Structures are given as structure tokens and as C-alpha cells.
């Protein structure tokens, strides 16, 4: 376990934890036939209605599942089951797509004897294709959620598309003498440029949290985590992050007025940031995870804007892929933003290697830079010397395989 101290409380990372580590959650993932030979239908289930909060894509073409989930959460602010399919996004499918999404909600509600508004939906895959509802109907009947690691893995596998690996994490902390656990699972590999991206994120916790406070917390944390990753600059139609808090830990209800609210916020931040970084690392065709840290900005928004501009630059990404320490591309990306800065006083470093000091080139060893850029985790540091704010963003390099993957995505 690794330990991070926050507000006089230790938050522990549970390396073998999952979305099912919090008390009261079960899951399953099965092969419904949407994708041949692969799991493609998953379910998360809480033993009681859980307080729910969600954030969604800013793409104007929001997919049918988002509309259904919004409808469900708006009713009582609670969700007990989340059904997710991969292989078909059910986006841009008109009235039939919306009808299919609502039918999916009804089928899950009937299967588990729930009111329909306690069911949320997620879909990911090809846009403009209708769900094969007979496969969905049969698949839902096969779902048998349980609390084992195998069932957690089954769910996490079922939500993947071009991903090469599952994304998961888990943290615990003691609040008011009660052990609070938070688990996360996500998918995302391409069309990643949040606000938000072709990503689905699911976070479970056994904490008791008010719905208003949970939504506030998720929105706050999303800005510095999921909204700070980019793979290819494209924002999808289906992006959703849902947090479910079922209260099984038995703690006093948490809200911003609670003295240990910062502990919960930091748990959510660690979970979201971990999932976001795993998504960035698994970008389609990626060979490297890139982390950009911008310091000395006038405000945090400027710092985050610059960091994301750098990590989202195709020229920066290709340079990193080609192990070329071309700091000029970094400076160019910085200059494209509207952030306040002094062009005569900017520092740039790749790893521990200074490239630019006060906007003047610094001699460096090309051999040393080459060796550093051959690693699979690359850090870029920028200091604007303009203020005290710091911001981070994450992304990946842009390789030949990205074009291959996306050139035949439908075929």
C-alpha cells in the first residue's frame, strides 16, 4: 500500500482493489454477442439505492444513453444499477436509439425488480449504429452480479473498445472512525479530449454523501482530472462519469460543512486522477504517457490551459514519439493560448534537462535527452514566472499505429 497524508488523515491506495471494494456493490460482465468473442455487456449493482452524481460530454450530439441517465438521476438523485454496453455507442440513432435506451433501462429494472428511475445507462462503440436489442435483451437475462474480483474484472473487460488494458483503482480512508472505501473503473483510448472524451468512468463508494455535495465534488474534481487529459483532440458523444455513494460505511453524512470533507474530496481527486492518467497512457497506438506541469501562472485556469495545449499538440506528441527534444514545439504550443505570460521570461525543461531559461536556449546533451525520451513516462515542465498557480495535464504520444487503428475502426 502507498500512503498519502491529507488533512491529518491517511488515504491508502489498495493495489488489488476495484470498483467492488466498497461495501454493498456487485458487478458482472458477459458476452452478449454485440462484439464477437468478447465481453460486451456489464452491470454495476448496489444493494441499496445510492446517491448519484454524473458529468457528461459537452459534445452537442449527446448519445441516447446520456439522455436516459440524466432522466433517471433527475428523478430522485439516486441510482441502484448501471448497465453498460460496448461495441455500439447508440449515438446519432434518432428516435429509435432513444427508444432502445429506454427499453434497456426497463429491462434492467424488471430483471432486478427496481423502479426504472434507479437505472443508469452507458454505451460506447461505433456511432450511427442501432443497438441489436435482441442481443441486449438476452444479455441482460444472463447478468448475475457478484462481489468477487473475477466479476469486477468481467465488468471492466465488458466496457472496453480499443483499450488494451483495464483501468481501475481503489482508495480507503478513515472518516469519523469509519473506514470509507472508493473504487473506480473506466474505459477510454481514442477520441479523448475532454470536456470530456470517448470515455466512461464509474466510481463507487460506501460513504454517505448528500446528492448536492456529491455533484459539487465531482464537478470540482473533474476539472483537474478527466478534463485535463487528451489523446487526439476529439470529443465524443457518449462521455459520462458516474459516482455512486451507497452509505454502507455508516458514516455521518458528508458535505462541505463537515470537518473531514477535504478527505473525501482528496479521495475522489486521487481516484479520478488515477483513472484519467490510465486512460491517457492507453491512448490508441500510444507508446508513452506524457505529463505536463505548468508553474508560475497567474491563475490555475491559465496553468491548466497551457498544460493541456502542450500535451494536445500533434507536433509535441509526434516529437515525443520520435524521441526528438524539440522544445520549439512546446514554446509554440504555449504561445497559442490566451494565458497571460511574459514571452521573455519562460523556462522549459524535459525531465530534468533544462531546454530554455528566461526564454533563451540552454545548451544540453542531445544524447542525454534521447535516452530520457526513450522512456515510457515523459514529463515536461514549464515555469512562466508570472504568478503562483500550478496546473497539470496528461496525454500520450502520437504514433503510426494511431492512424492504423482509426483508419479501419468500423471495418
Q: Per-residue confidence at 357, pLDDT binned at 50, 70, 90?
A: very high
Q: Could you tell me if 172 and 214 lie in one domain?
A: yes
Among 11-15, 220-224, 280-284, 299-303, the least confident range: 280-284
Q: Could you tell me if 106 and 51 lie in one domain?
A: yes
Q: Per-residue confidence at 341, pLDDT binned at 50, 70, 90?
A: very high
Among 46-50, 228-232, 371-375, the least confident range: 228-232
Q: Residue 10's pLDDT is what?
A: 83
CB-based contacts of 366, cutoff 8 Å, min separation 6: 325
Q: Per-residue confidence at 279, pLDDT binned at 50, 70, 90?
A: confident
Q: Residue 194's pLDDT is what?
A: 43
Last residue of a domain, one of 255, 281, 307: 281
Mean model confidence pLDDT for the chain? 89
CATH number at residue 190: 3.60.70.12
**Phi and psi torsions of 39, nearest 5°:** -65, 140
**Phi and psi torsions of 153, nearest 5°:** -65, -40
Strands 240-245 and 200-205: parallel
Q: What string of DSSP letters covers 312-347?
A: H-HHHHHHHHTT---HHHHHHHHHTS-----TTS-E
Q: Could you tell me if 350 and 270 lie in one domain?
A: no
To 10 degrees, what angle do helices 327-335 and 314-321 make? Answer: 160
pLDDT higher at 225 or 302: 302
| Grid-cell match 454502507, residue found | 248
Q: Per-residue confidence at 235, pLDDT binned at 50, 70, 90?
A: low
- Measuring CA to CA, which residue among 84, 87, 104 is closest to residue 34? 87
Q: What string of DSSP letters covers 167-195?
A: EEEEEEEEETTEEEEEEEEEE--SS--SS
Specify whether the CB–CB gap between 51 and 214 falls below 8 A.
yes
Last residue of a domain, one of 281, 308, 332: 281
Mean pLDDT of 167-181: 94
- Grid coordinates in use for 279? 486512460
- Measuring CA to CA, which residue among 189, 61, 71, 82 is closest to residue 125? 189
Instruction: Give the rounded percent of residues in the chain with a pLDDT score beyond 70.
Output: 90
Last residue of a domain, one of 281, 312, 332: 281
CA distance 358 to 346: 5
- Grid coordinates in use for 133? 436489442
Q: Could you tell me if 268 and 303 lie in one domain?
A: no
Specify whether the CB–CB gap between 29 and 41 falls below 8 A.
yes
Q: Could you tell me if 163 and 241 lie in one domain?
A: yes
Q: Residue 107's pLDDT is what?
A: 98
Q: Could you tell me if 56 and 162 lie in one domain?
A: yes
CB-based contacts of 55, cutoff 8 Å, min separation 6: 196, 218, 219, 222, 226, 240, 241
| Coil, helix or strand at residue 85 | strand
CA distance 36 to 40: 9
Q: Could you tell me if 256 and 377 lie in one domain?
A: no
Mean pLDDT of 246-258: 95
Q: Could you tell me if 77 and 133 lie in one domain?
A: yes
Q: Could you tell me if 226 and 373 lie in one domain?
A: no
Residue 391 has pLDDT above 80, yes or no: yes
Active site residue 318: no
Q: Could you tell me if 201 and 303 lie in one domain?
A: no
User: String of b and e for 81-109 (b: at least 16 CB within 10 Å)?
Assistant: bbbbbbbbbbbebeeebbebbbebbebbb
CA distance 308 to 304: 6
Domain that holds residue 296: 289-407
Q: Could you tell me if 161 and 230 lie in one domain?
A: yes
CB-based contacts of 19, cutoff 8 Å, min separation 6: 25, 27, 44, 152, 155, 156, 168, 170, 183, 184, 185, 202, 203, 204
Strands 167-175 and 178-187: antiparallel
CATH number at residue 324: 3.10.20.340
Burial of 343 (0-12, 13-18, 19+ CB in 10 A): exposed
Q: Could you tell me if 116 and 170 lie in one domain?
A: yes
CA distance 72 to 406: 33
Which of the residues 161, 198, 204, 237 is marked catalytic? 198
Q: How many domains does the chain have?
A: 2
Q: Per-residue confidence at 288, pLDDT binned at 50, 70, 90?
A: confident
CA distance 341 to 338: 9
Q: What string of DSSP letters covers 249-302?
A: T-PPPB-TTSTTHHHHHHHHHHHHHHHHHHHHHT-TT---EEEEEEEEESSHHH
Amino acid at each position: 500500500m502507498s500512503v498519502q497524508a491529507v488533512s491529518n488523515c491517511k488515504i491508502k491506495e489498495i493495489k488489488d482493489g476495484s470498483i467492488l471494494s466498497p461495501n454493498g456493490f456487485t458487478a458482472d460482465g458477459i458476452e452478449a454477442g454485440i462484439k464477437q468473442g468478447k465481453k460486451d455487456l456489464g452491470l454495476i449493482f448496489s444493494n441499496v439505492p445510492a446517491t448519484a452524481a454524473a458529468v457528461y460530454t459537452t459534445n452537442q450530439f449527446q448519445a441516447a444513453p446520456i439522455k436516459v441517465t440524466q432522466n433517471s438521476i433527475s428523478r430522485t438523485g439516486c441510482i441502484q444499477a448501471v448497465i453498460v454496453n460496448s461495441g455500439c455507442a447508440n449515438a446519432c440513432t434518432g428516435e429509435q436509439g432513444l427508444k432502445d435506451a429506454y427499453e434497456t433501462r426497463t429491462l434492467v429494472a424488471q430483471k432486478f425488480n427496481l423502479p426504472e428511475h434507479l437505472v443508469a445507462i452507458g454505451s460506447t462503440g461505433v456511432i450511427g449504429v442501432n443497438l441489436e436489442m435482441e442481443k441486449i435483451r438476452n444479455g441482460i437475462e444472463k447478468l448475475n452480479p457478484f462481489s468477487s474480483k473475477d466479476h469486477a474484472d468481467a465488468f471492466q473487460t465488458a466496457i472496453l473498445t480499443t483499450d488494451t488494458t483495464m483501468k481501475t483503482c481503489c482508495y480507503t480512508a478513515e472518516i469519523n472512525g469509519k473506514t470509507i472505501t472508493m473504487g473506480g473503473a473506466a474505459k477510454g483510448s481514442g477520441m479523448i479530449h475532454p470536456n470530456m472524451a470517448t470515455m466512461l468512468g464509474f466510481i463507487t463508494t460506501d460513504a454517505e454523501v448528500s446528492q448536492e455535495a456529491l455533484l459539487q465534488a465531482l464537478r470540482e474534481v473533474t476539472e483537474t482530472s478527466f478534463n485535463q487529459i487528451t489523446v487526439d483532440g476529439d470529443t465524443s458523444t457518449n462521455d459520462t462519469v458516474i459516482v455512486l455513494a451507497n452509505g454502507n460505511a455508516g458514516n455521518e453524512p458528508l458535505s462541505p460543512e463537515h470537518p473531514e470533507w477535504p478527505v473525501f474530496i482528496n479521495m475522489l481527486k486521487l481516484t479520478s486522477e488515477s483513472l484519467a492518467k490510465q486512460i491517457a497512457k492507453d491512448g490508441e497506438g500510444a507508446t508513452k504517457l506524457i505529463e505536463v506541469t505548468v508553474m508560475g501562472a497567474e491563475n490555475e485556469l491559465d496553468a491548466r490551459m497551457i498544460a493541456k495545449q502542450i500535451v494536445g499538440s500533434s507536433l509535441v506528441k509526434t516529437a515525443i514519439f520520435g524521441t526528438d527534444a524539440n522544445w520549439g514545439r512546446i514554446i509554440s504550443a504555449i504561445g497559442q493560448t490566451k494565458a497571460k505570460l511574459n514571452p521573455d521570461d519562460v523556462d522549459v525543461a524535459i525531465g530534468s534537462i533544462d531546454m530554455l531559461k528566461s526564454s533563451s536556449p540552454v545548451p544540453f546533451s542531445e544524447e542525454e535527452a534521447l535516452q530520457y525520451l526513450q522512456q515510457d513516462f515523459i514529463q515536461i515542465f514549464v515555469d512562466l514566472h508570472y504568478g503562483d498557480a500550478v496546473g497539470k495535464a496528461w496525454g500520450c504520444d502520437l504514433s503510426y499505429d494511431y492512424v492504423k487503428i482509426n483508419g479501419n475502426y468500423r471495418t
